[in-house]
Amino acid sequence: MIEAKEALNRLIEGNKRFINEKRLGSHHSNAERRREIMEAQEPFAIILGCSDSRVPAELVFDQGLGDLFVIRVAGNIVAPSQVASVEFAAERFHTPLVVVLGHTQCGAILATLEELARPLIDQSPNLHAIVDRIRPAVENLLNPALHLSPEMQVEEAVRANIRASANHLRHGSPILEKLILTKGLQVIGAQYCLESGAVEFFEGIE
């Protein structure tokens, strides 16, 4: 298996191809590739991303079948099932890199900020579970002393939530902590720009 730095470079290069509309082509997912990975998989990166339909990781990073182990949940939050999924892939497939991928104008972030400003009595308990996981990372951004516009609040909250999720994975799992210390596993945060298509890696880069 490749090291985390090479895995990151693959994602960076793939995103460049995506932006420049120079994707590698159908061999990513053709019949030959399906046969290659039928018996086993070796994903080189784990992506914990938002469920937003505009941010499909395989397209954003120009990767194909068997390349990425993708976990998607609204707001790219970290709950026990997401931690377990990351643990599973990192341990079983020796995948060296975990990327928490948030994005601009995230609806789950906006909903959390709205809930903090004006609590909704009739909100679904299930939706509340998402909001409650985002809340600790973003609630301080509503402080009037910061003088943040609504747009800046959302922008800063997206990044704060990415940092919080990445930090949770680094320090909320004995399995991942051990892999970080002994196998060189890296957990980093990144933000996808809906307008440009570019991914900015900004959290946990070594």
Walk along the chain (206 residues) and give the pLDDT tens digit of each residue: 789 999 999 999 999 999 999 988 766 778 888 888 888 899 999 999 999 999 999 999 999 999 999 999 999 999 999 999 999 999 999 999 999 999 999 999 998 998 887 776 666 778 778 889 999 999 888 888 888 898 999 999 999 999 999 999 999 999 999 999 999 999 999 999 999 999 999 887 76
pTM of the model: 0.92
Say if CB 103 and CB 55 are below 8 A apart.
yes
Return the number of other C-beta atoms located less than 10 Å from residue 87's C-beta.
17
- Phi, psi for 196 (deg, rounded to 5): -95, -25
**Could you tell me which residues are beta bridge partners of residue 201?**
190
- 3-class secondary-structure state, position 78: coil
Q: Do the beta carbons of residue 61 and residue 71 sit within 8 Å?
A: no
Structurally, at CATH architecture level, domain 4-203 sits in 3-Layer(aba) Sandwich (3.40)
- Residues whose CB falls within 8 Å of the CB of residue 166, separated by 6 or more in sequence, listed in order: 98, 100, 187, 188, 189, 203, 204
Per-residue H/E/C for 27-49: HHCCHHHHHHCCCCCCCCEEEEE
**Nearest-5° Cα angle at 173, 172 to 177:** 105
Domain ranges of the chain: 4-203
Confidence at residue 165, expressed as pLDDT on a 0 to 100 scale: 97
